[in-house]
Structure 1
């Protein structure tokens, strides 16, 4: 049984999820195209090193076009 999503995206932070290493969470990116993303927790740091975030660490398959029928 899939758990019912809870929380309000406008006020929930990732830290509020109280995740541990090897856990995951997902989000629904595009309601019309039904794109779901899974984020796997691989490390937890008190402070992230300098750099550009978020980072893509792995892709599975080819990314679909955002608007395939748009000319």
Structure 2
């Protein structure tokens, strides 16, 4: 039997109040994630996040501040 480790990322929370903004990304898969993100907010220019790692079951918050 072959067992696969597959990351599964979801946006678990999004916050914006006109001033501050952030998102929470959760890896609900059974594998770790490592890769690149390009995030763009409501008031910010694109943010390039290089080589981000999110372990299985882990959440990370990315914001403009």
Q: Same fold (TM over 0.5)?
A: no
Task: Report the structure number with the largest CA radius of gyration.
Answer: 1
RCO higher in structure (CA 8 A, sep ≥6): 2
TM-score, normalisation: structure 2: 0.29
Question: Is the helix fraction higher in 1 or 2?
Answer: 1
TM-score, normalisation: structure 1: 0.28
